[in-house]
Amino acid sequence: MMNIPKMADLAAAGKKPEVLFWVGCAGSFDSRAQKVTKAFCEILERAGIDYAILGNEEKCTGDPARRAGNEFLFQMTAIQNIQTLDMYEVKDIVTACPHCFNIIKNEYPELGGHYNVIHHTLYLEQLIKSGKIKINEDVNTDTITYHDSCYLGRGNDIYDAPREVINALKVEIKEMKRSKVNGLCCGAGGAQMFKEDEPGNKRINTERVQEIIGTGTHTVVANCPFCLTMLEDGIIANEKQNELKLYDLSELVLTKMIN
């Protein structure tokens, strides 16, 4: 079992970490996203990063509430989080969830929460470039395709960083026809994750997985817990669970990390 440091324990010892890892609701409670949390924490530890989490003091960012139209609930949870972050004098935050990244970076400032927020794709790129993550280039990995999450891509114009990380792993990317600014949503954003399907002929995640299959690759990489859930469901719907592997970017990095 990993011994992940908590902000409260460090504060009690008179210490402050270099960066706060914002885990998010999915990374805390969803069984698939928990694997991403563990993988990213292992990378941080092996790279020698001084980090901590809030643990039970971390609340939902309020993103689903705001997207669903419950502004009161959003502001209530956001202000609670801001109070907690400011109590610990947090400056730098890294998160593996584009939804958490987007709302803390772009929407918390209007409520007084000003932080340097970075998504883990950018953070992984920085760790590789600085040499804190060393890659085993002898490990052979099949060609892969990469799925752009909406809140990282179109929402924040971050397309190159995850691809730079994949290139650093010496893995060839086969792009889907709909990628980058023209990427196809997995179907979960904007609180759609938590509501019933609307009328239609095909689920959007089924369509997306068919595009993945069309690339001829056996591995798809994502960077968002919602995307992981939707793509996993799409893979099952297409009966490709024995042929198609699905990774978060941090999990892929961990397979090739040597330090």
> Rounded CA gap, 209 and 191, in Å?
21
What pLDDT shows up at residue 32? 95
Which positions ≥6 away from 68 have C-beta within 8 Å?
Answer: 191, 194
pLDDT band at 190 (very low <50, low <70, confident <90, very high): low
Mean pLDDT of 179-204: 78
Phi/psi at 31 (5° precision): -60, -35
> Rounded CA gap, 112 and 231, in Å?
35
Lowest-pLDDT range of 106-115, 137-146, 184-193 = 184-193
> Rounded CA gap, 191 and 71, in Å?
13
Which residues on adjacent β-strands are paired with residue 150?
Answer: none
What pLDDT shows up at residue 196? 73
What pLDDT shows up at residue 176? 95
For residue 116, pLDDT over 90 is answered with yes
Domain 7-125 is in which class?
Answer: alpha beta
For residue 140, pLDDT over 70 is answered with no
What pLDDT shows up at residue 193? 64
What pLDDT shows up at residue 1? 61
What pLDDT shows up at residue 56? 96
What's the fold here for domain 135-256? Rossmann fold (3.40.50)
Contact between 61 and 100 under an 8 Å Cβ cutoff? The reply is yes
What pLDDT shows up at residue 141? 65
Which positions ≥6 away from 167 have C-beta within 8 Å?
Answer: 173
Mean pLDDT of 175-190: 86
Domain ranges of the chain: 7-125, 135-256
Contact between 244 and 143 under an 8 Å Cβ cutoff? The reply is no
DSSP string, the chain: -----BHHHHHHTT---SEEEE-HHHHHH-HHHHHHHHHHHHHHHHTT--EEB-GGGPPP-SHHHHHTT-HHHHHHHHHHHHHHHHHTT--EEEES-HHHHHHHHHTGGGGT---EEEEHHHHHHHHHHTTSS-B-TTS----BEEPPPTTTTTTT---HHHHHHHHHTT--B---SS-GGGPPP-S-TTTGGGSPPPS-SS-HHHHHHHHHHHTT-SEEEES-HHHHHHHHHHHHHTT-TTT-EEEEHHHHHHHHB--
What pLDDT shows up at residue 191? 63
What pLDDT shows up at residue 76? 97
- Quote the mean pLDDT of the chain: 93
First-to-last alpha carbon distance for the chain, in angstroms, is 20
Which residues on adjacent β-strands are paired with residue 94?
Answer: 21, 118
pLDDT digits (tens, 9 = 90+) for 235-256: 999 999 999 999 999 999 999 8
Which residues on adjacent β-strands are paired with residue 59?
Answer: none
